[in-house]
Amino acid sequence: MPSELPLHACNAHCHVFGPRTVFPYAGDASFVPQHDAPKEDLFALNDRLGLTRCVVVQSSCHGFDNRAAADAVAARPHDYRGVALLPTDVATAELQ
């Protein structure tokens, strides 16, 4: 088991992949994972490590489709945050 972590320790950079049946990988992705790594796997890992806070960073395998990362953050909204991947020409009105 890991040593005791400081209060409010945070997994500060991680990714979720898929599941590809729900969140397909981008057709032009330069990286395509061989296996899905859905939010449930991330939650289990962080729980095992004793981490309650997390920053989910959008993976290039999903391109500009941020739904997989947003879904993970939405499932634990008080403790998880996200970093989106956006095209350079995104309109301010599209941002939420």
Q: What tens digit of pLDDT does each residue of 38-92 get?
A: 999 999 999 999 999 999 999 999 999 999 999 999 999 999 999 999 999 999 9
Nearest CA to 65 out of 18, 12, 14 is that of 18
* Residue 96 lies inside a defined structural domain of this protein: no
More confident residue, 4 or 42: 42
Number of domains observed in the structure of the chain: 1
* Residue 2 lies inside a defined structural domain of this protein: no
Can you give the residue range of the structural domain that contains 57? 10-86
Per-residue pLDDT of 15-36, as tens digits, reads 999 999 999 999 999 999 999 9
* Residue 33 lies inside a defined structural domain of this protein: yes
* Residue 25 lies inside a defined structural domain of this protein: yes
pTM of the predicted model over 0.85: yes
